[in-house]
Amino acid sequence: MGQGNETVVTEFILEGFSGLNQRLQLFLSLVFLLIYLTAVMGNATIIFLVCVDNRLQIPMYFFIGNLAFLEICFTSCTSIKLLVILSSGRRTISVSACFVQSHFYFALGCTEFILLVVMSFDRYLAICQPLRYAAIMTQQLCILLVVAAWVAGFTFMSYHLVLLSKLTFCGSNKIQHFFCDNSPLFQLSCSDTNLLWRIDSVLILFILLGSLCLTLSSYVCILFCILRMPSRRKKAFATCSSHLTSLAIVFGSCLDLYSHPSERVSLETNKLVALLNTVLYPFLNPFIYSLRNKLVVLVLKDAIAHATAQLFPQSRCISGQ
């Protein structure tokens, strides 16, 4: 590295959607900004409601609130840079910042998979073991499970930084993506990446498939429990169907992104699927998990009514006359 005519790369250029004309890029930046702000506000609303209303301070909503916080972090990790690229054309990112972004992307993603496993186990206990649910899912256990998910997610993905640190970049510095995903980085490196890519792929697939199997096993057990229920089937099916919709999006997109060898990855397809994973899913998450829920909608209406009464007390007095 650094010998002969080789030039040491100190920063990358995120090509993103550079093939699009400037007006279309500006239009997309406005669309993605609207989606990003809606995702942040929607997930932040869920966190606020779970924190302030006693009706939502039960394990299911505690986990949903933590998932909402995770989604804000996850989408911010990539969306902010994407918005800068599309709106201003500033595409450069230092090598260290690129590695940090890649680490947080995978660590937050791994944490989400573990949290989804925890949430599926919570639904299994609530539906299949209702009499023992309160005794098992105590507040202490819920906090412990969430902390364990975050610690395990970042610990499992610490190897990713080690693998990235072993890559050398001495040729082109143009990444054909809107963030520092592993496929374009491995393709761009002038190191021999065959072994590193195999290690990375095996570990990512182990986490993906392991969490998917555990999650699906919980929902299969739930399905058999629901079929034996004389009542409450409709409510249980509605809850599980929304969760399964979320699982299909997040696991489907990740399996499509990371189940192929790097040399066979189409970066154009990779970018489109990554948009689904990093932009669209966090946007849909509040609607999938919470805002279709009657209790959450009721709590939201009460919060809006209370805020309106505090901001405009005179209007309440007039309406009451």
Output the pLDDT for position 3.
45
- What integer is the mean pLDDT of 288-312? 82
Q: How far apart are CA 178 and CA 87, in angstroms?
A: 13
* 70 DSSP β-pair partners: none
Output the pLDDT for position 135.
92
pLDDT above 70 coverage of the chain, percent: 90
- Which residue would you say has higher pLDDT here, 200 or 67? 67
The model's confidence at residue 187, banded by pLDDT at 50, 70 and 90, is confident
pLDDT above 90 coverage of the chain, percent: 37
Q: How far apart are CA 190 and CA 8, in angstroms?
A: 11
Q: Please determine, for residue 102, whether its predicted confidence score (pLDDT) is greater than 60.
A: yes
DSSP letter for each residue of 223-234: HHHHHT-SS-HH
- What tens digit of pLDDT does each residue of 219-269 get? 999 888 888 876 666 666 666 777 788 888 888 888 888 876 655 556 677
Q: Please determine, for residue 149, whether its predicted confidence score (pLDDT) is greater than 60.
A: yes
Contacts of 272 (CB under 8 A, 6+ apart): none
Output the pLDDT for position 233.
64
Output the pLDDT for position 90.
86
Q: Please determine, for residue 2, whether its predicted confidence score (pLDDT) is greater than 50.
A: no
- Which residue would you say has higher pLDDT here, 131 or 291? 131
The mean predicted confidence, pLDDT, of the chain is 85
- What tens digit of pLDDT does each residue of 9-57 get? 788 999 878 778 888 989 999 999 999 999 999 999 999 999 998 889 8
- What integer is the mean pLDDT of 257-286? 78
- Tell me the pTM: 0.88
Output the pLDDT for position 238.
66
- What integer is the mean pLDDT of 84-104? 90
